[in-house]
Amino acid sequence: TSAHWGYTGPVGPEHWADLDKKNFVCSAGTQQSPININSAVKADIPHIAIGWHKGGGNMVNNGHTIQINMPQGSTLTRGDRVYELVQFHFHAPSEHHVAGKSFPMEVHFVHKDTQSGTLGVLGVFLTPGATNASFAALAAAFPELPNGEVTIDEVNPNWLLPASLGYWTYEGSLTTPPCAENVEWMVAMEPVDVDPADIQRFASLYPSNARPIHSPNRRFIVRQS
């Protein structure tokens, strides 16, 4: 088990490194996430191919976010790398910024590289607009109390994907302790509309579970040319 951390006060982001000096690299790291995406290098990078399947899942309130654990068998392929979808979860407001601005929410699809164990996280921004039936169904069942858990008969993560899968990518970290720098970030350029009432539902449980942005230091952000 790890040290108790949060988003405000003495256990807030600026203190994470001190809460567990041995294991939390939140201050020592030089490739931390999230970042502000304000310029990108264009390169011939591989397309993302999504192979996600709908299925039963379980949704937990882990005290930091609402997380949907997915059954095995859903993949994200990028070039010669195959990642397995493990879970997805939400942040409000968004953790990544674009041109200095945040979005009301961001969903993180956490994948594990089946070969190396590296994580590949796909971030998708959520904005107020038309109802997204899939997000609405999840929002209606959000477990309100920490450690609360509900079984979802069928969840289809594909409904939370934008129409186009143009993306930015960079080398970063977990946005929560231990802030490990083993994450290949992919951030979708096109946001997805969800009902503002459903954003409000999440924000009533977690009004502010976004880590502040970090310096890119020497990193480049890459996008498809």
| CA–CA distance, 182 with 173 (Å, rounded to integer) | 6
Measured from the CB atom, the residue of 67 and 132 that comes closer to ligand SG7 is 67
Measured from the CB atom, the residue of 134 and 173 that comes closer to ligand SG7 is 173
Measured from the CB atom, the residue of 94 and 134 that comes closer to ligand SG7 is 94
Buried b (16+ CB within 10 A) or exposed e, 189-216: bebbebbeebbebbbebbeebbbebbeb
- Residue 174 binding result from Zn ion, ligand SG7, none, given CB thresholds of 5 to 8 Å by partner type: ligand SG7
Residues 162, 191 contacting (CB under 8 angstroms): yes
Q: Of the candidates 78, 96, 97, 108, which one interacts with Zn ion according to CB under 5 A?
A: 108
Measured from the CB atom, the residue of 32 and 132 that comes closer to ligand SG7 is 32
Q: How far is CA 195 from CA 88, 127, 131, 157, 201, in A?
A: 19, 8, 4, 17, 10
Any idea which residue has 């690299």 for tokens?
25
Cα 11 versus chain centre, distance = 21
Measured from the CB atom, the residue of 89 and 218 that comes closer to Zn ion is 89
State the minimum distance, in angstroms, from the CB of residue 108 to ligand SG7.
4
State the minimum distance, in angstroms, from the CB of residue 190 to ligand SG7.
19
Q: Which residues would be at the binding site for ligand SG7 (CB under 6 A)?
A: 62, 64-65, 67, 87, 89, 108, 110, 121, 174-176
**Count of residues of this chain found to bind Zn ion when the rule CB under 5 A is applied:** 1
- Residue 53 binding result from Zn ion, ligand SG7, none, given CB thresholds of 5 to 8 Å by partner type: none
List of residues 6+ apart from 127 with CB closer than 8 A? 103, 104, 105, 191, 192, 193, 194
- Residue 67 binding result from ligand SG7, Zn ion, none, given CB thresholds of 5 to 8 Å by partner type: ligand SG7
Cα 2 versus chain centre, distance = 20
Residues 61, 49 contacting (CB under 8 angstroms): no
Measured from the CB atom, the residue of 108 and 201 that comes closer to Zn ion is 108
Three-class SS state of 104? coil
State the minimum distance, in angstroms, from the CB of residue 176 to ligand SG7.
4
- Residue 17 binding result from Zn ion, ligand SG7, none, given CB thresholds of 5 to 8 Å by partner type: none
Can you give the binding site for Zn ion, defined by CB under 5 A? 108
